[in-house]
Amino acid sequence: MNRPAPRSIDEYLQQLRTALAGEDPALIQDALYDAEEYLRAELASHAGKSEVDVLSIVASTYGAPEEVAAAYRDTEIRVKAALHTPRARPRTTAPGALSRYFGVFSDPRAYTSLLFMLLSLITGILYFTFAVTGLSLSLGLSILVIGLPFFLAFIGMARVIALGEGRLLEGVTGERMPRRPAHPGPAAGFFARVGQMLKDTRTWTTLAYCLLMLPLGTLYFTVAITLLAVGLSFIAVPFLKVWDMLAGHDDWTRYVNLGVDVLDNWVGYLLVCICGVLVLPALMHLARGIVRIHCDLAKKLLVNPAA
């Protein structure tokens, strides 16, 4: 079914949004940004023509909304195929439970997810400090002339942080995140721009994400560092015992003291070591799951809901 040709930029964008219905919101946001940026640049370069005339020119250069939507779908498929992690050679038999459990060590996403959890405390502190400081200064300076420009700069920086965080999460998990910001729309006056930012839901969801990152980052870091320390220390128990014996120390508790009599023997040391070996892949699986959930939360808060 052929749609009537759009007669305004807003109508063009609405048709493009409709044509991309069901696609990833991050893809829709990027497509809308590119289209609006191009259309408004064309309108500015043809100052003597109406939007209808400019759109008729665009139809033969940039393409109709349905054509642009199809091009974005095709490009997204090719990009996903290019960035997809190569699959391992197919097995002749189905992998067993242990193979699947320890196979997490061959997944690069597990390592990047664990690194994200370890770094999340630092980013959480930075984001939380940025949000609280920016909001406080914006309110405190609102009675002065500099208050509104400061607020605009603060929100602009918050959106840059959101875009960078999205790119980081895409690199860590492979989940599609925006590669363009949400377009600010047509040129507007200073106070109109402030009003748009205040009414924009994404302004407040982005700040909410910055504030949430401190408790979430603290939780992620605590879980990651605790399990990592437990796993590595358990694995080290028998090796520390051997080192203690080779060093000729009579007091073997100098390095190893499990605190449980039944484990204070070589069988106990080996059992504790095995537990440590099991804890590490559990941590890797947990890291992948936590970061996937976090990525879903980030997508709800950082991606333009209008997309």
Q: Do both 184 and 244 map to the same domain?
A: no
Q: Do both 180 and 271 map to the same domain?
A: no
Lowest mean pLDDT among 123-137, 200-214, 248-262: 248-262
In the structure, what pLDDT confidence band is assigned to residue 82 with cuts at 50, 70 and 90?
low
89 domain residue, yes or no:
no
304 domain residue, yes or no:
no
Of 214, 234, 262, the residue that ends a domain is 214
Of 163, 190, 214, the residue that ends a domain is 214
User: Can you give the residue range of the structural domain that contains 179?
Assistant: 107-214
pLDDT, position 203: 86
Q: Do both 207 and 222 map to the same domain?
A: no
* Rounded-to-integer distance, Cα 119 and Cα 109, Å: 15
Q: Do both 210 and 225 map to the same domain?
A: no
Q: How many Å is the Cα radius of gyration of the chain?
A: 27
- pLDDT, tens only, 126-157: 999 999 999 999 888 888 888 888 888 898 89
CA separation (Å) from 135 to 5, 63, 203, 208? 44, 42, 12, 11
DSSP summary character for residue 93: S
194 domain residue, yes or no:
yes
pTM of the full predicted structure? Answer: 0.77
229 domain residue, yes or no:
yes
pLDDT, position 159: 87
pLDDT, position 191: 67
pLDDT, position 190: 65
Q: Do both 166 and 223 map to the same domain?
A: no
pLDDT at 216 over 90: yes
94 domain residue, yes or no:
no
> Mean pLDDT for the chain?
82
3-state secondary structure 273-296: HHHHHHHHHHHHHHHHHHHHHHHH
pLDDT at 267 over 90: no
Q: How far is CA 62 from the centre of its chain?
A: 30
301 domain residue, yes or no:
no
More confident residue, 51 or 160: 160
How many domains in the chain? 3
141 domain residue, yes or no:
yes
Q: Residue 143 in 3-state DSSP?
A: coil
15 domain residue, yes or no:
yes
Summarize the confidence of residues 179-207 as an average pLDDT: 76
Q: Do both 40 and 59 map to the same domain?
A: yes
Q: Do both 66 and 155 map to the same domain?
A: no
